[in-house]
Amino acid sequence: MLIQDKKIAIVGGGPGGLTLAKLLQDKGANIQVYERDLNKYARQQGATLNLHEGSGLLAIEKAGLMDQFKQHYRPGAEKFRIVDEQAHFFFDEHAEIKDASFGNEFFRPEIDRGPLRDIFIESLQPDTIVWDHQFVTMERQGAGWLLSFKNGNARYADLVVAADGANSKIRPLINTIKPVYSGLTVIEGNVYNAARHAPKLNTLTSGGKVFALGKNKSLILSAKGDGCLSFYTGTWETENWINESGIDFSNRQQVLSWFQQRFADWDPLWQELFETDEVYFVPRPMYHYPLPQQWDALDNATMIGDAAHRMPPYAGEGVNMAMLDAVELSECLCSPGFPNLQAAFAGYEKHMCQRAAEVTRITLQQMHDLHAPGAIKNLLAVFTPPAD
């Protein structure tokens, strides 16, 4: 096996990095996951995730964690409603009778990020994850790399896998391809104890999701198992709008003022999200990589997930692609069909880039369709395709 007796560093303890760690560790590999968080409780996890057949659920199955997943996923959380900017209903999956069971190719079970992360953390050998190690840089040392961290520590690895997200610090050492701004900026928010602090919208969401579309803007709500309500606004903005706007996104009143102006043609109902101090906001300009990407593989480093193929979240593919990356990379590294590590990385990267290009193309089209005239009609067409 190509990775026998190799020290493998995975930088980033998100779903992709943890999936890879589990799959390789099960093959006997020497794995360390370097994670910036102080511990697994240190940071609020984001919105719920829906896992797909052939990607996210395939990774769960390959990792031998399906029983644990079934214990922690949230039945019914995949149900959604489609409304316009005035909260008029156009589709209500809560009123639909459908086959919501494992094995159905259209079933996309939801799980909160925290529980999904915990499932993988608990499946790994003790001390696999090295907490409080925020990656700073790495430099070649012999045939491998010396990794340096913000806390002053340095660790050697024969192989490095970048799983450190959309703003990866390792990616520039692998290729110089720059991301492209999509034109859309998202404001991510999270309302704590939504039943108390956003009762009307919490009821509207009904434990699932709401897609509110209109006037070339979007607002997507997701209920979380801990009682929070996460949301994403979507608006067309200039690339530097976040800095040029002068908005302090830690100041709720400033964000509310922006929302009242930018969404002035929406029903005031939606302002409920911004009327409590029990909320946080993070602005996120949406980037993607050119289609398709291609680069020459290294013999001791590669990348998975957003580090490799960041894309907007509008097709729900981000975590699924990251977990599928982990499956495919682990298979390449453990395959007898490659003569050396560089060939294994090249085989993985070629297929990954082709797959990610197609998913990114679909995602960008869907993102555009949801922020264009006829957005609701466009989204309904995705879920109710015309009969043959």
Q: Both tokens of residue 248?
A: 């302090």
CA–CA distance, 282 with 309 (Å, rounded to integer): 21
In contact, 35 and 188? CB cutoff 8 Å: no
CA atoms within a 13 Å half-sphere pointing along the CA-CB vector of 326: 34
Q: Which residue has the tokens 């043609």?
A: 265
Strands lying side by side in the sheet with 279-288: 89-92, 80-84, 209-214, 217-223, 229-236, 180-191, 279-288
Single-letter code of the amino acid located at 30: N
List, as one string, the DSSP characters of 13-80. Answer: -SHHHHHHHHHHHHTT-EEEEE-SSSSTTSS---S-EE--TTTHHHHHHHTT-HHHHHHHS-TTTT-E
- Per-residue three-class SS string for 160-206: EEECCCCCCCCHHHHCCCCCEEEEEEEEEEEECCHHHHCHHHHHHHC
Q: Do the annotations mark residue 306 as ligand-binding?
A: yes
Q: Which residue has the tokens 């024969």?
A: 158
Helices (H), strands (E): how many in the chain? 13, 17
- State which H helix or E strand residue 237 sits in: none
CA–CA distance, 383 with 89 (Å, rounded to integer): 15
> How many Cβ atoms from other residues are within 10 Å of residue 86's Cβ?
12
CA–CA distance, 18 with 124 (Å, rounded to integer): 9
Q: Which residue has the tokens 């909320």?
A: 279
Q: Do the annotations mark residue 84 as ligand-binding?
A: no
Return phi, psi of residue 92, to 5°: -140, 100
Binding residues for NADPH: 43
Annotated binding site for FAD: 113, 306
Which segments are annotated as binding site?
Answer: 43, 113, 306
